[in-house]
């Protein structure tokens, strides 16, 4: 198991290097300066130019398909009719992103067994009587015998789609042999095809995105991604799916290596319906939505919170994101300041809002006195970063710092005792704020808690499932606070302060780049990230402009000529840290 | 000698070719006079190995017996296990030296116990159950089965590398399907039919392996280890398919259970313990039916979210927040959940002991290693975290002792488990966690 968020080796080293938790502010500022996640902010003062800084990139990647990418790959290759039944290897989250975890993940024996079973089932569907007419583009001369020409056509076509490149001669020979032998044993051409397809579906060339390089004609002695690998990077970034046939054709002809064609392909994909899938996938990853799978709430306190509510809560936020950032081509900061949203009937009961639509979502705007503004007051955020029966200013504040401002918070120190400050029955400390103030007077805790708690306390007007409340244990809730000196009175004010933070755009730019490359930025990419974040601001914080800029940049496709040996231990991430030992 | 090879030889000599439709009645006459081995082959009844993990330790001082050696008085926190006292060895006083590494709460203890290192940044090591599965698990359909009573399959402490954890089954229906669904060959079935699909699948897997060499050349050094892990998984699948292509060994204790119903995941301790019992009952029959010899169960993640209906705060939070009752001297609510947790462990022991097999029970033919992440959850202390060993591994291990490790590295436990299960390893663990001496008190 890998850590779920932020708890990086770098942090632990920093903590060791800089000593105790009481010194975290110092460690943190050094970390931020040092951290690639904070690089963009650190260079935010540099002027913007139109010239993209030169980068060397990092070695080519080998990324395991995420569960969603596996599903999308099957849909792109065989159409939406083909069911996927069974469990895929669980995604692994490293440094806050499943995308980064995909570059560390391998396949366990049990997981491989599942891929084999799922692949067999898919291959059986593709070749069954109901689908073969549509999906197998040729007919054998005799259904009981092997027809090499037809099989060759089938495997060449699906090989291209599954491996995201043409099959090599040996690879084609192997699947033809499997198919021929299986046909002979079964007396059925389609049965033979089935085993050939199943072989490809269990192949590392399908399950991993294996990038390939070739000599770069523009840079003597350097390597570049080959056109197919470039196509895959582009396509997975923009659509979270493998390249479609048009993009593959562009890779085949080599046109994709030209600036014009790269721009045209990016524009085409961004105009396609699949682009929303790509944007959703990025925010699903960024917002930690995989954690919903294990989220439960105290049924006594929150009888209305069930699995379906959890599904709707994610959908609500993703709809807002698509509406504002893609449909309206809007400003990323509006996600923290806008009150328009989408609500389902099930969510209506949590938000205490009448919803007319019997099924699905309807557009609604939260009123000014609802206390809600932006995605931080969505159930998806409030409920996910709470305990089953209690809100958590610390978990909420931690997530905002780490995810939207790229300021990693170290894990709590080992020898902590909260019993004095956490006793809810202590008549003097009725609210979370009262308890946390006591907390922050403890020297070892204060360094981090003062970074997290003011943000989380602004959201205390919402309980563990995200419903509005004005009192806690009979006491009024004070939602005022500040971030790094900028004061606010409530959740709406928090959203506006966040929207003004120079870290907000640079952090998103860095995260989107990490998401696209599946790794933390290399030291040589510092100027590039500074440039990217400046450009994002200049582009009026338009998310689509940021996406396009990455997709059509040189930096995104650069690969380091040789793979330097990793420093010891960088492959290792800690076993999962569940939501922290904090309030 | 390897049992499957023996059976293979016998069947080949009897029928010339691999037989389809071979009737295999399972009778006592397959066992030798002592009931410890298959009479036909001389191969011993299989010995199983399992781990059982629970989060957040136990109340300090309430689980350590006052006496060492045999005949200890069962401590308060373990009263639910009383019936099994003579089969349980309690390890106390084994430490986790950190060598200057920070104690990563709820992780360091598990990593030290399972992977033999305190700081996972040092090296990527397999969990020791994988080494045992490699040794004993190859002749069964599954090298190991992982289970977690959580809705998160990544709750698993077993894996060849951190990048490839063995995912847990989290739903009883999925566990049933894995063990007894498609591909299950009833050892007591009247007919064995070799499955053409298995044969074809095997050549498909072999084809995958053929590409290994050329693929390895094309990738960078740093990804090679991950690809090697993938190919290891392919080879393991191939081995297991080979097992499927032979008639199953007789298994008198094997009973195919009915299909369970799905359970809605919650964090209520009563629900989780009930789900655990359903899963354990299925898994025990999976063992009896020779589907696997190795299992890894995690009751919950280390930062256990368990709670009681009257308390919305999860167990993990409670360990940090609940005051120590001055009269009792411990945290009463936490003690209550720890007690129910041990009840779940009792369910596992009862299930294993309920399967009669040869001269004893499945529990006797097992070695069970139960551990947690901390000794004192309140302070995240990892020194002296509790470990229980249960079963005799078919007579290879003495049970019913309390052993005080007197500060020795906790890796002595993992080393001993590996040696008992036949892994050729003389020392295990790194830095101060390197152990080179087994816990000899338990060796017969």
Question: Chain B, 331-390: which have a CB under 8 Å from a chain A CB?
Answer: 378-381
How far apart are the CA of A382 and the nearest CA of chain B, in angstroms? 17
Residue of A16, A89, A109, A422 to mutate when probing chain B, most B C-beta within 10 A: A109
pLDDT per residue as tens, chain B (444 positions): 333 334 334 333 333 333 333 333 333 334 444 545 544 444 568 999 999 999 999 988 899 999 999 999 999 899 999 999 999 999 999 999 988 888 888 889 999 999 999 876 667 789 999 999 999 988 889 999 999 998 888 899 999 987 789 999 999 999 999 999 988 999 988 778 778 888 899 999 999 998 888 888 888 777 898 999 999 999 999 988 888 888 888 888 999 999 999 888 888 999 999 999 999 999 999 999 999 999 999 999 999 999 998 888 889 989 988 988 999 999 999 999 999 999 999 999 999 999 999 889 999 999 999 999 999 898 889 999 999 999 999 999 999 999 999 999 999 999 999 999 999 999 999 999 999 999 999 999
- Whether A92 sits inside 8 A of B324 (CB atoms) is no
Question: Chain A, 151-180: which have a CB under 8 Å from a chain B CB?
Answer: 170-171, 174-175, 177-178
- Whether A294 sits inside 8 A of B214 (CB atoms) is no
- Whether B323 sits inside 8 A of A111 (CB atoms) is no
Question: Chain A, 445-464: which have a CB under 8 Å from a chain B CB?
Answer: 464
Of the candidates A116, A202, A296, the beta carbon closest to that of B266 is on A296
Residues of A in contact with B223 (CB under 8 A): 62
A311 touches chain B (CB under 8 A): no
How far apart are the CA of A341 and the nearest CA of chain B, in angstroms? 30
Q: What's the pLDDT at A148?
A: 97
B313 touches chain A (CB under 8 A): yes
Residues of B in contact with A180 (CB under 8 A): none
pTM, 2 dp: 0.86
Torsion of CA A583, B56, B385, B376, to 10 degrees: 40
B242 touches chain A (CB under 8 A): no
The three-state secondary structure class of A187 is coil
Angle between helices A227-239 and A274-286 (to 10 degrees): 70
Residues of A in contact with B430 (CB under 8 A): none
Q: Report the distance separating Cα A156 and Cα A196, nearest Å.
A: 11
- Whether A186 sits inside 8 A of B266 (CB atoms) is no
Q: What's the pLDDT at A551?
A: 98
Residue of B115, B119, B223 to mutate when probing chain A, most A C-beta within 10 A: B223
Of the candidates A1, A203, A205, the beta carbon closest to that of B154 is on A1
Q: Provide the pairing of β-strand B88-92 with B401-404.
A: parallel
Query: What are the residue boundaries of the structural domains of chain B, listed by start?
Result: 44-190+253-442
CA distances from A4 to A95, B3, B302 (A): 7, 43, 14
- Whether A581 sits inside 8 A of B320 (CB atoms) is yes
Of the candidates A181, A185, A202, the beta carbon closest to that of B208 is on A202
Q: What's the pLDDT at A437?
A: 75
- Whether A2 sits inside 8 A of B162 (CB atoms) is yes
How far apart are the CA of B271 and the nearest CA of chain A, in angstroms? 13
- Whether A12 sits inside 8 A of B104 (CB atoms) is yes
- Whether A574 sits inside 8 A of B120 (CB atoms) is yes
Q: Which residues touch A306 (CB under 8 Å, ≥6 apart)?
A: none
Q: Which residues touch B244 (CB under 8 Å, ≥6 apart)?
A: B141, B183, B185, B195, B198
Residues of A in contact with B303 (CB under 8 A): 577-579, 581
Portion of chain B with pLDDT greater than 70, in percent: 89
What is the topology classification, in CATH, of domain B44-190+253-442?
A: Alkaline Phosphatase, subunit A (3.40.720)
A293 touches chain B (CB under 8 A): yes
Residue of B116, B141, B163 to mutate when probing chain A, most A C-beta within 10 A: B163
- Type and span of the H or E element at A488: strand A486-488
Residues of A in contact with B206 (CB under 8 A): none
Q: What's the pLDDT at A23?
A: 35
Q: Report the distance separating Cα A39 and Cα A46, nearest Å.
A: 12
Q: What's the pLDDT at B193?
A: 79
Q: Which residues touch B292 (CB under 8 Å, ≥6 apart)?
A: B137, B140, B141, B142, B143, B144, B145, B286
A100 touches chain B (CB under 8 A): no
Q: What's the pLDDT at A44?
A: 43
A62 touches chain B (CB under 8 A): yes
Which sign, positive or negative, has the C-alpha torsion B407, B412, B416, B419? negative
Q: What's the pLDDT at B103?
A: 84
- Whether B164 sits inside 8 A of A107 (CB atoms) is yes
- Whether A566 sits inside 8 A of B234 (CB atoms) is no
Of the candidates B110, B167, B322, the beta carbon closest to that of A89 is on B167
Q: Which residues of chain A have pLDDT under 50?
A: 1-47, 563-583
**Which residue's entry shows tokens 């105290």?**
A298
A324 touches chain B (CB under 8 A): no
Residues of B in contact with A464 (CB under 8 A): 312
- Whether A12 sits inside 8 A of B240 (CB atoms) is no
Residues of B in contact with A207 (CB under 8 A): 230
Cβ atoms of A361 and A344 closer than 8 Å: yes
Residue of B143, B204, B313, B317 to mutate when probing chain A, most A C-beta within 10 A: B204
Q: What's the pLDDT at A574?
A: 34
Q: What's the pLDDT at A26?
A: 34
Up-side HSE of residue B412: CA atoms within 13 Å toward CB? 23
What is the value of ipTM here, to two decimals? Answer: 0.86
Residue A332: closest CA among A543, A544, A532: A543
Cβ atoms of B163 and B226 closer than 8 Å: yes
- Whether A62 sits inside 8 A of B226 (CB atoms) is yes
Cβ atoms of B431 and B99 closer than 8 Å: yes
Q: What's the pLDDT at B263?
A: 84
């Amino acid at each position: 198991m890998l850590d779920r968020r932020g708890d990086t080796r770098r942090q632990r080293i920093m903590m060791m290097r800089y000593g105790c938790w009481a010194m975290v502010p110092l460690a943190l500022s050094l970390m931020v300066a040092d951290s690639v996640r904070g690089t963009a902010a650190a260079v935010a003062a540099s002027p913007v130019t139109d010239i993209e800084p030169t980068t060397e990139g990092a070695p080519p990647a080998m990324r395991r398909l995420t569960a969603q990418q596996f599903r999308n790959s099957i849909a792109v290759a065989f159409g939406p009719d083909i069911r996927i039944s069974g469990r895929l290897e669980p995604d692994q989250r490293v440094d806050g992103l499943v995308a980064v975890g995909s570059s560390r993940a391998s396949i366990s024996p049990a997981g491989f067994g599942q891929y084999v079973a799922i692949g067999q089932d898919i291959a059986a569907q593709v070749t069954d009587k109901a689908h073969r007419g549509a999906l197998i583009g040729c007919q054998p001369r005799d259904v009981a015998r092997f027809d090499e020409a037809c099989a060759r056509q089938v495997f060449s076509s699906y090989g291209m789609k599954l491996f995201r490149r043409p099959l090599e001669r040996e690879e084609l020979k192997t699947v033809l042999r499997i198919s021929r032998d299986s046909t002979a044993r079964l007396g059925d051409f389609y049965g033979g095809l089935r085993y050939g397809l199943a072989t490809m579906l269990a192949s590392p060339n399908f399950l991993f995105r294996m990038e390939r390089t070739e000599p770069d004609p523009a840079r003597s002695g350097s390597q570049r991604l080959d056109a197919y690998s470039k196509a895959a990077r582009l396509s997975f970034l923009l659509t979270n799916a493998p390249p479609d046939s048009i993009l593959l054709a562009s890779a085949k002809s080599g046109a994709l290596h030209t600036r014009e064609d790269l721009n045209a392909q990016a524009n085409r994909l961004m105009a396609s319906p699949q682009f929303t899938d790509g944007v959703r996938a990025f925010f699903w990853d960024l917002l930690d939505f995989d954690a919903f799978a294990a989220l439960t709430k105290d049924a006594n306190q929150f009888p209305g919170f069930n699995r379906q509510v959890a599904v709707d809560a994610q959908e609500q936020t993703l709809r807002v994101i698509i509406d504002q950032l893609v449909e309206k081509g809007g400003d990323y900061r509006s996600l923290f300041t806008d009150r328009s949203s989408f609500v389902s009937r099930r969510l209506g009961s949590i938000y205490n809002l009448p919803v007319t639509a019997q099924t699905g979502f309807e557009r609604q705007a939260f009123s000014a006195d609802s206390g809600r503004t932006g995605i931080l007051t969505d159930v998806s955020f409030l409920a996910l970063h709470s305990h089953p029966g209690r809100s958590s200013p610390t978990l909420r504040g931690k997530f905002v710092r780490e995810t939207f401002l790229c300021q990693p918070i170290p894990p709590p120190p080992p020898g902590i005792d909260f019993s004095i400050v956490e006793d809810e029955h202590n008549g003097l400390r009725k609210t979370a704020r009262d308890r946390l103030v006591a907390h922050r007077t403890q020297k070892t805790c204060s360094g981090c808690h003062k970074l997290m708690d003011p943000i989380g306390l602004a959201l205390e007007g919402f309980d563990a499932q995200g419903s509005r409340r004005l009192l806690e244990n009979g006491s009024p809730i004070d939602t005022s606070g500040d971030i790094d000196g900028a004061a606010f009175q409530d959740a709406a004010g928090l959203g506006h302060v966040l929207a003004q933070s120079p870290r907000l755009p640079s952090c998103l730019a860095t995260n989107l780049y990490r998401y696209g490359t599946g790794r933390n930025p290399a030291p040589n990419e510092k100027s590039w990230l500074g440039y990217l974040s400046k450009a994002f601001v200049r582009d009026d914080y338009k998310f689509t402009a940021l996406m396009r800029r990455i997709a059509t940049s040189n930096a995104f496709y650069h690969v380091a000529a040789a793979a330097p040996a990793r420093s010891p231990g960088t492959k290792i991430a800690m076993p999962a840290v569940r939501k922290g030992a904090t309030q | 000698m390897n049992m499957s090879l023996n059976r293979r030889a016998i069947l080949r000599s009897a029928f010339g070719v691999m037989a389809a439709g071979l009737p295999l009645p399972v009778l006592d006459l397959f066992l030798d006079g002592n009931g410890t081995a298959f009479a036909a082959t001389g191969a011993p009844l299989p010995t199983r190995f399992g781990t059982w993990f629970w989060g957040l330790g136990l109340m300090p001082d309430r689980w350590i017996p006052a006496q060492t050696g045999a005949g200890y008085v069962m401590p308060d926190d373990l009263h639910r296990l009383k019936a099994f006292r003579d089969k349980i060895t309690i390890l106390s006083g084994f430490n986790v030296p950190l060598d200057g590494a920070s104690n990563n709460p709820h992780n360091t203890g598990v990593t030290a116990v399972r992977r033999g290192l305190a700081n996972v940044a040092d090296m990527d090591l397999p969990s020791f159950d994988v080494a045992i599965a490699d040794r004993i698990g190859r002749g069964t359909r599954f090298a190991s089965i992982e289970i977690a009573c959580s809705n998160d399959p990544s709750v698993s402490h077993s894996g060849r590398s951190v990048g490839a954890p063995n995912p847990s089954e989290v739903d009883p229906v999925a566990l049933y399907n894995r063990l007894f669904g498609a591909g299950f060959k009833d050892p007591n079935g009247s007919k064995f039919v070799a499955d053409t699909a298995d044969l074809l699948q095997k050549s498909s897997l072999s084809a995958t392996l053929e590409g290994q060499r050329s693929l390895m050349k094309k990738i960078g050094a740093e990804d090679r280890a991950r690809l090697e892990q993938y190919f290891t998984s392919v080879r393991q699948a191939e081995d297991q398919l080979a097992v499927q292509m032979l008639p199953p060994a007789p298994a008198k204790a094997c009973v195919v259970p009915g299909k369970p119903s799905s359970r809605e995941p919650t964090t209520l301790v009563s629900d989780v313990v009930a789900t655990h019992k359903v899963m354990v009952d299925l898994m025990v029959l999976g063992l009896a039916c020779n589907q696997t010899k190795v299992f890894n169960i995690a009751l919950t993640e280390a930062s256990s979210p368990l709670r009681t209906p009257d308390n919305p705060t999860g167990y993990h939070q409670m360990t940090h927040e609940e005051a120590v009752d001055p009269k009792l001297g411990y945290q009463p609510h936490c003690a209550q959940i720890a007690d129910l947790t041990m009840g779940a462990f009792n369910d596992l022991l009862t299930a294993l002991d309920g399967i009669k097999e040869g001269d004893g029970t499945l529990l006797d033919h097992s070695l069970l290693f139960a551990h947690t992440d901390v000794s004192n959850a309140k302070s995240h202390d990892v020194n002296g975290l509790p470990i229980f060993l249960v079963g005799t591994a078919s007579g290879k291990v003495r049970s019913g002792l309390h052993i005080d490790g007197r500060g020795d590295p906790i890796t002595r436990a993992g080393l001993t488990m590996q040696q008992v299960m036949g892994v050729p390893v003389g020392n295990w663990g790194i830095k101060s966690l390197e152990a080179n001496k087994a816990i000899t008190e338990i060796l017969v």
